[in-house]
């Protein structure tokens, strides 16, 4: 009997830079972000929010100001913690470290979710960051450690300004930097966040409890059937493949999951109760 498949939940742990160096762009960043959380396509995303602060101690940033909740239900809680302007000193490293730790714990406790960190910053190092040796190396190390951990956490960066080291943070986190123009508008910020949303959405489908895949099992997306390969190497011929306890879409089929009305698993067996 065909079984309904569900795409894994996307949960974003968002870290806001509210330091003085971001002052030329803070209004555009926050207006763009407020538009993003109200964007219809963001509905259903889980989101948590941390902000930079004056403390250099990682535990002071936990728990987050807003715990993970599903949009749009937590919009009011997010709005309430967004600053009206630049308030703190720069504290990229402790805030990022806290976000990565929280993301890993959340992903461990919620295996049904695909968890990523989103850092909005111009990456200008400040007092807390200067305490940690080579700032850009340490920031990249934090992102890389989260990326190679289990569960793996990707780190996305949306960055105004001209500091080049933000690119290293994004690459270490397994993603591509979304750099804003010097004269960024709120629309530029919204566009960058939409790119992140598209890239961060999981291509994985949770395998129904009790389902046993057989040679004839297929994924059916809005009536179109695709073979399931044993691993990602099969994507030349298959549309999906087995990844741990999930079924993952191949690169050429992942985009089809956006806006799909029905995703079904067909031709499998069920374990005996």
pLDDT, tens digit, for every residue of 89-101? 768 899 999 999 9
Check pLDDT > 60 for residue 271: no
What phi and psi, each to the nearest 5 degrees, are found at residue 116?
-135, 160
| pLDDT tier, 6 (very low <50, low <70, confident <90, very high otherwise) | confident
Check pLDDT > 70 for residue 245: no
Quick one: pLDDT at residue 18? Answer: 84
**Which are the contacts of 22, defined by CB distance < 8 A and separation ≥ 6?**
29, 86, 121, 122, 124, 160
> Which domains are seen in the chain, by residue range?
9-200 (3.40.50.410), 203-270 (no CATH)
Q: For the segment 121-138, what is each residue's pLDDT rounded down to a tens digit?
A: 987 776 777 655 577 888
User: Chain-wide mean pLDDT for the chain?
Assistant: 88
- Secondary structure of the chain as H, E, C letters: CCEECEECEEEEEEEECCEHHHCCCHHHHHHHHHHHHHCHHHCCCEEEEEECCCCCCHHHHCCCCEEEEECCCCHHHHHHHCCCCCCECCCHHHHHHHHHHHHHHHHHHCCCEEEEEEEECCCCCCHHHHCCCCHHHHHHHHHHHHHCCCCCCEEEEEECCCCCHHHHHHHHCCCCCEECCCCCCHHHHHHHHHHHHHHHCCCEEECCCCEECCCCCEEEECCEEEEEECCHHHHHCCCEEEECCEEEECHHHHHHHCCCCCEEEECCEECCC
Q: For the segment 46-62, what is each residue's pLDDT rounded down to a tens digit?
A: 999 999 888 889 999 99
Check pLDDT > 50 for residue 8: yes
| pLDDT tier, 206 (very low <50, low <70, confident <90, very high otherwise) | confident
Quick one: pLDDT at residue 100? Answer: 98
Q: For the segment 162-205, what is each residue's pLDDT rounded down to a tens digit?
A: 677 789 999 999 999 999 999 999 999 999 999 999 889 888 88
Check pLDDT > 80 for residue 209: no
Check pLDDT > 90 for residue 211: no
Quick one: pLDDT at residue 272? Answer: 43
Quick one: pLDDT at residue 84? Answer: 67
Q: For the segment 21-50, what is each residue's pLDDT rounded down to a tens digit?
A: 888 898 999 999 999 999 999 999 999 999
What are the CA-CA distances from residue 156 to residues 15, 100, 262 (Å)? 10, 12, 29
15 or 162: which leads in pLDDT = 15
Quick one: pLDDT at residue 131? Answer: 54
Quick one: pLDDT at residue 82? Answer: 87
Quick one: pLDDT at residue 270? Answer: 53
| pLDDT tier, 144 (very low <50, low <70, confident <90, very high otherwise) | very high
What phi and psi, each to the nearest 5 degrees, are found at residue 210?
85, -5
Q: How far apart are CA 229 and CA 67, in angstroms?
A: 37
Q: What percent of the chain has pLDDT over 70?
A: 90
Considering 9-13, 231-235, 243-247, the range whose residues carry the highest mean pLDDT is: 9-13
């Amino acid at each position: 009997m065909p079984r309904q498949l569900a795409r894994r939940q996307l949960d974003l742990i968002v870290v806001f830079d509210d330091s003085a160096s971001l002052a030329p762009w803070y209004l555009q960043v926050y207006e763009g972000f407020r538009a993003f959380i109200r964007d219809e396509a963001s509905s259903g995303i889980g989101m948590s929010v941390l902000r930079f602060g004056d403390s250099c101690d990682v535990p002071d940033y936990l728990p987050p100001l807003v715990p993970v909740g599903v949009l749009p239900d937590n919009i009011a809680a997010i709005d309430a913690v967004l600053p009206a302007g630049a308030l703190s000193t720069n504290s990229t490293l402790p805030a990022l470290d806290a976000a990565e730790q929280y993301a890993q714990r959340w992903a461990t406790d919620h295996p049904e979710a695909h968890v990523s960190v989103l850092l909005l910053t111009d990456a200008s190092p400040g007092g807390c960051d200067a305490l940690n040796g080579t700032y850009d190396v340490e920031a990249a190390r934090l992102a890389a450690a989260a990326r190679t951990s289990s569960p793996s956490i990707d780190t996305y960066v949306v960055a105004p300004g001209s500091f080049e080291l933000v690119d290293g943070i994004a690459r270490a986190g397994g993603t591509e930097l979304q750099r804003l123009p010097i004269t960024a508008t709120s629309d530029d910020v919204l566009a960058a966040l939409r790119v992140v949303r598209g890239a961060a959405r999981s291509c994985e489908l949770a395998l129904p409890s009790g389902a046993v895949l057989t040679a004839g099992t297929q994924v059916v997306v809005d009536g179109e059937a695709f073979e399931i390969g044993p691993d990602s190497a099969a994507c030349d011929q298959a549309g999906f493949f087995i990844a741990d306890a999930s079924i993952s879409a191949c690169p050429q089929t992942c985009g089809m999951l956006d806006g799909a009305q029905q995703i079904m698993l067909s031709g499998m067996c069920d374990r005996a109760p």
